[in-house]
Amino acid sequence: MLEPVRSSVLFRGRWVQVDEEEWPDAGTWEVFKPKDAAAVLPVTPDGDVLLIRQFRAGARSLIEEIPAGLLDVEGEDPPSCAARELLEETGFRHTSLEPLVALHLSPGSSSELVHLFVARTEPHPEREPEEGIEVIRRSFDGAVADARAGRIDDAKSVLALLLADARMAAG
């Protein structure tokens, strides 16, 4: 992995750090360093997807997205984080969890790596979702069509839907 020739912390918060880094032949950059994250596309036994709607301060609005969260529990790996977030945010447990991809959503300014998964769920939730979260049950095909048409504006959710659709089409 490449490293900068110089780095200094400009800001350190609870969930994020911002560093100023100097790179040979690339100059000085401010790099946003949040904790990495895991996100999961839940698919029910009857083929519906579970999306959530919650307020997101950065977007300044309610966002429809797949369950996701930061890798902020000591020793927790991405699959465990995805399973935890699925249960906390939808009330559903998974019966299987399959990795889709790990990717950088904004590598020009952020170090964040997001691990995407697709999960098969139990038929019914075992608990209520976290406060402030609305669970939206939709047909898989309808959600994919909305992702393709730009009606879902969360990048990780669009990617998870399109990758899962391609994987299912390939058999």
Q: 83, 89, 143, 160: which is the annotated catalytic residue?
A: 89
How many residues belong to the chain?
Answer: 171
For this structure, is 21 an active site residue?
no
Distances (CA, A) of 105 to 102, 127, 142, 154: 10, 31, 24, 11
CA angle 33, 89, 65 (to 5 degrees): 65
- Least Cα distance to 64 among 49, 72, 73, 54 occurs for 54
Q: 83, 85, 147, 164: which is the annotated catalytic residue?
A: 85
For this structure, is 88 an active site residue?
no
Q: 56, 127, 148, 151: which is the annotated catalytic residue?
A: 56
Identify whether the C-beta of residue 91 lies closer than 8 Å to the C-beta of residue 135.
yes
Q: 3, 131, 149, 169: which is the annotated catalytic residue?
A: 131
CA angle 17, 20, 26 (to 5 degrees): 130
For this structure, is 56 an active site residue?
yes
> DSSP letter at 10?
E
- Beta bridge pairs of residue 118: 41, 98
Q: 37, 38, 39, 68: which is the annotated catalytic residue?
A: 68
- Which residues are identified as catalytic? 56, 68, 85, 89, 131
